[in-house]
Structure formats: structure tokens, C-alpha cells
Amino acid sequence: MTDTTQGVKQDADQNTTHFGFQTVATEDKVGMVANVFHNVAAKYDIMNDVMSMGIHRIWKRFTIDCSGVRPGHRVLDLAGGTGDLTAKFSRIVGDKGQVVLADINNSMLNVGRDKLRDLGIIGNVNYVQANAEELPFPDDYFDCITIGFGLRNVTDKDKALRSMYRVLKPGGRLLVLEFSKPVVEPLSKVYDAYSFHLLPKMGELIANDAESYRYLAESIRMHPDQETLKGMMEEAGFEQAKYFNLTGGIVALHRGYKF
């Protein structure tokens, strides 16, 4: 299999995949990703604010604005972690709607559940531990699915996209918010210096964990670029797929529909 990621061509057979810049056995990746998120869960929110200088809130706001979610809708916040998107959707869908915060990692889910309960968000949110590749929901179930900064960590992204397609209702939309490829060359250079030098240092200082933040920087570089991901969504069945570059393409929001 040839995997094209941000201009990096990497040959991998079916038994291997990448974990950041390392080539690892496919079956090992899920455990390695789990370790990263067990390690960062407690400091995840503060690191997000520090690393992005608060800008992740604007990216998430834009995601909500593009979601078309209304009162009464059923929403899946997949790889939802500490629940930022869930909190916003919960307020929009109201008493007659439902938000499912699903994540493979119980440490992240626990932090999310505690945070949302502290915010008084109780009635319309369910917490489900699930792998994006094999979603435990009926066909045609959700009006909207978001996956924020999650797809990059999934071992078989095509399988996950097909699984999302299956559980989305006809007329529903998928939103993939993810780090992507900067579209301006000078920004790219500054961003590289920031990601590979400053980010692990911040991780060390704030979360006592440089390694996890090195993985973060590497996994971003290995993630499919804007056009590749759009093609993958189309391949999984999504229609009218398009993307919006945010902060010069450092992040992109991909949107696709199931009809």
C-alpha cells in the first residue's frame, strides 16, 4: 500500500503503519495512541489553550457554525475527548436532542464527563467508549458527526470514515476538524520550528511529557493533506465534500454529506 501524506510518500505493507514518524506494527498503534492520551488527559485542556494560544476555541466555534445542528438533533462528537464540542452541541440540541460523546480512551472520557458535569451539562449527553473504526450505533442514526483532532490518531482512517458514513442519517453531515497543511510557505517554516522545538518543551514544562507532544507534531505531518482527505471522504461515500482552511491551513475543516 502506498500512503501519501503531505507530500511524504511512505511505503507500508498491510502489517505496518505509522505512529508519528515511526513505522510500527499495525496492531500496536492503537495501544501506543492510547498511552499518549492516558498520559496527557489530566493536562489536555490547559495544554490546548497554551499550545494554540486559545485559537482552538475559534476553530471549534467555526465547526459548530458549519454543523447546521438544531434543537432536537442527534449528534455524535467522535474522538470527543474532554468534550468541548459536546458542551456546545448539548446547549443547541436541547432537551429533545441527544449528544453522544464517544472516545476510545477512558481517561479522556472521564476528564470530559467530570468537566461537563461541573458545567451543569447532564440531561442530553451520553458517554460511550468506542473505536471510530467500528462504531457501536445503528445505521442512519445521527444528524451530524464531528471528529475534532481525532482522525489523525486512528489506525485505519478509511474504515473509520466508512463507519461514520454508515451511522449518519441520509441528509446528515460529517465535519472533520484536523491539523492540515499550511498553505503559505513562510508560515510553514515558523510552524515547523514551533512544532518540533517549542511544543515538546512546553509539553515537558506543563505536562511533564515531551514525548507525547513530539508525537503530536509528527502525527500532524503524517496526516493526509486537504485534498487527500477530501478524496478519502468521497471514497467513503460522502458527497459535496469540501474544506475550509483555517489559520492559513494549519487546521482545516472538511465537510461532507450523506444523501
Ligand X SMILES: C[S@@+](CC[C@H](N)C(=O)[O-])C[C@H]1O[C@@H](n2cnc3c(N)ncnc32)[C@H](O)[C@@H]1O
- Shortest Å distance, C-beta 38 to ligand X: 9
User: Angle, to 10 degrees, between the axis of helix 55-65 and the axis of helix 84-93?
Assistant: 40
Report the distance separating Cα 211 and Cα 117, nearest Å. Answer: 31
Annotated binding-site residue? 65: no
Nearer to ligand X, 132 or 175 (CB): 132
The residue with its CB nearest to ligand X is 81
CA atoms within 13 A on the CB side of 95: 0
- Shortest Å distance, C-beta 108 to ligand X: 4
- Shortest Å distance, C-beta 142 to ligand X: 15
E-strand stretches of the chain: 2-5, 8-11, 16-19, 22-25, 74-78, 98-103, 125-129, 142-148, 168-179, 239-246, 251-257
- Shortest Å distance, C-beta 12 to ligand X: 18
Q: Write the single-letter amino acid at 44.
A: Y
Burial category of 136 from C-beta neighbours within 10 Å (exposed 0-12, middle 13-18, buried 19 and up): exposed
Nearer to ligand X, 46 or 184 (CB): 46
Nearer to ligand X, 56 or 230 (CB): 56
Nearer to ligand X, 93 or 176 (CB): 176
Nearer to ligand X, 78 or 93 (CB): 78
For strand 16-19 and strand 22-25, is the pairing parallel, antiparallel, or unpaired? Answer: antiparallel
Question: Could you tell me the three cell numbers for 183?
Answer: 498553505
Annotated binding-site residue? 155: no
Annotated binding-site residue? 15: no
> Which residues are at the interface with ligand X (CB under 6 A)?
33, 37, 79-82, 84, 103-105, 108, 131-133, 148-150, 153-154
Report the distance separating Cα 231 and Cα 228, nearest Å. Answer: 5
- Shortest Å distance, C-beta 126 to ligand X: 15
Annotated binding site for S-adenosyl-L-methionine: 82, 103, 131-132
Annotated binding site: 82, 103, 131-132
